[in-house]
Structure 1
Amino acid sequence: MGPTSVHSAGQGCIVTLTQTLGEAMRITSEFAIKGPVPFVDVHVDRDNLLFLDPSAIRNGSDALSKAANDTLIRFFAEVLRLRSSASPTDHAIGQELLSHLHEPNETRLGMSVASKFGRAFGSQHATDLWDLLGKSREAQASVMTRLEHLRLFADGVGYDLISDATTRILFGHLCDFTQSMMKRYPELMFGAKSVDAEVFDTSSLTWEARSTELPIADGRTLLLVPKGWVYWRTLMDVGPFYNRYASATVQDEQTVIRSDGKAIKPSKKSIREANRDMRTLNRDQATKYKTQKGRDLVAEYQEFVDREFDGLSDFEIIRRTGE
């Protein structure tokens, strides 16, 4: 991520790139750490155009990634369980769980995007998400079972919302990772501060208070992120699902077999022109195929994403955080 790590990847243009993008306020420069490092070497004085992505985490093979993936599954499953309950008490508990997904800034990840949820995930946005889950046919049909599935179906859900919610849900894991890096790189201990944080506990399925020590950079607490956990967008995204599954199934449905056995298919272009709202078609097709045909298009897409997954290289991380 710093000059050494990208240089080791054999990128011949690294000198020009780093001179152009600048390294002055990256973590490694701020703490005088020599790379390569296992964490995302972000600029500490501003947001960086990368996002914490649940699919990238799901594809991690180390123990921390597996534990983090389990936490994400447990959190969203509990929210969906409480939302589907008829009990007002369960509803209050579920809304309380979501109310803790306020915008984090310790990682320096993410940038503002157009979204009805806005830049910060606050109490009103938690209410909006709770209402959305209650009205969602996809959730009721057990099609939307993970946090990242919101991106496929929910209007106004941008990369930042998924990244911010993921950061909050995994705050405890990120603290553990940061403290392991502080032991590995003692330079990070300089000026470190003990802070009180709320972390999601998978045993009690509630938020618990925790005191943890974090580095201080640019006058603010810093939370380190494993570099395998980030991507430049959400890997499960609205457009690819629309193109590969939603519109493709419509094409299959509208295919006519002539008397001579030849299949006449409508063009993908004509289907797109008739179904310009991608999320509406995503919702309709995913729900119909799960409830009427027993085919889980979202599960198929997730398997495709995992099969094709290729994390960002050090060079790509530097390039995307350089602007």
Structure 2
Amino acid sequence: MRVITSYYGITGPVPFVDVDVTADNPLYLDPHAIRLLRGPNPYAAAAVECMDTFLHEVTSCVIGGPSFHRRGKDLLQHFVEPWETRLGMSEEGFRGHGGAEVVGEWIWNTVTGDVEALVRIGALRQLEDLPLFVKGIDRDITSDVTTRIVFAPLARFTEEMLATYPEFSSAGHTTKSYRRQVWNPVLREWDVEEFTLPVANGKPLLLVPKGWARPTLLMSATRYYETTVLSFAQLEQAVVTSDGKLLKTPKDKLKVQPGLERGRGTILRVTKRAIETEQDLIRAFKAFVDARFEAGIRDEEEAA
């Protein structure tokens, strides 16, 4: 394994994810982690702006006419396969699922089909909501899609690291200018920019700020189902006893009930039922995730 710091001879702690530059790494860019870390971080703030303007542009096209539909579908056809970050596993990402265009088709067909109602009422509003409802979109594809959308902030962070660590361009190591497709949040169009990136093992390297990549997604379909979706189903079936106690069906028994089995079909049905009673399960799930994330950070700080 040749992680970035050993490959370049950098010592001490670094503010980027220290991945193996010669192989895939089982870490995934997590859009919700980026959102939670944006605070005073200009790169995270820029990344969130890219994610939000991109999804807003796509979902706006969903509720428009045929010309808007053509534009929305086209916006999802520009996810060229990433490898600059070395994150994710190739067989699980774009390459392993028939290519980026196929993935774009999945997303468009879902937001104009099964979840169009959620788009129209604004329940599906952030990039990290997609894995909850789009079949086939898990940590790998989410990471690939997010990387393409936030490529410009990642590249600018990388350029700052080049200025901070001279090791990237010394002892025989080189940097090179690359023209890359980026999402332009002002124009709300795909654009092209030129960046200077380090060259590692003969290929461009894109650095990722610490905390942006995780082995699992904070907002995964499995976590949403296991927590918020089943909790709502418990309340739907709960019975109040004569002494005022609330009896709830255990989650393991709910999972084998028809209509509540694991899967995105169940997730969508229960989410829609909750909306009919004016309950936003997606928002509730994010509140749960955010609280756990913040508690984890506090625990790390106290242990340090």
Structure 2: which 5+ residue stretches go unaligned?
none
Change (3 A) 1:182 1:243: same
Of 203, 217, 220 in structure 1, the residue corresponding to residue 203 of structure 2 is 220
How many Å separate the matches in 1 of 2:58 and 2:89? 26
Q: RMSD over aligned Cα, in angstroms?
A: 2.1
1:84 CA displacement: 2.0
Of 152, 156, 163 in structure 2, the residue corresponding to residue 172 of structure 1 is 152
Which residue of structure 2 aligns with residue 69 of structure 1? 48
How many Å separate the matches in 1 of 2:194 and 2:97? 27
How many Å separate the matches in 2 of 1:268 and 1:301? 17
Structure 1: which 5+ residue stretches go unaligned?
1-21, 314-323
Which residue of structure 1 aligns with residue 101 of structure 2? 123
Which residue of structure 1 aligns with residue 85 of structure 2? 107
Which residue of structure 2 aligns with residue 233 of structure 1? 216
**Range moving further from structure 2, 200-209 or 63-72:** 63-72
1:244 CA displacement: 1.7
Q: Which has the higher contact order (CA 8 A, sep 6+)?
A: 1
1:256 CA displacement: 2.2
Of 241, 246, 249 in structure 1, the residue corresponding to residue 229 of structure 2 is 246
How many Å separate the matches in 2 of 1:164 and 1:115? 7
Of 116, 119, 122 in structure 2, the residue corresponding to residue 139 of structure 1 is 119
Equivalent residues of 2:93, 2:144 under 8 A apart: no
Which residue of structure 1 aligns with residue 59 of structure 2? 80
Which residue of structure 2 aligns with residue 264 of structure 1? 247
Which consecutive segments of 4 or more residues in structure 1 shift more than 4 A?
112-117
Change (3 A) 1:252 1:117: farther
Size of the alignment, in residue pairs? 288
Normalising to structure 2: TM-score of the pair? 0.88
Equivalent residues of 2:225, 2:262 under 8 A apart: no
* 2:263 equivalent to 1:285: no
**Range moving further from structure 2, 147-156 or 51-60:** 147-156
Of 53, 57, 60 in structure 1, the residue corresponding to residue 30 of structure 2 is 53
1:35 CA displacement: 2.4
Which residue of structure 1 aligns with residue 287 of structure 2? 303
How many Å separate the matches in 2 of 1:286 and 1:167? 28
Of 28, 34, 37 in structure 1, the residue corresponding to residue 5 of structure 2 is 28
Identical amino acids, percent of aligned pairs: 35
How many Å separate the matches in 2 of 1:116 and 1:221? 19
How many Å separate the matches in 1 of 2:240 and 2:208? 53
Change (3 A) 1:109 1:134: same
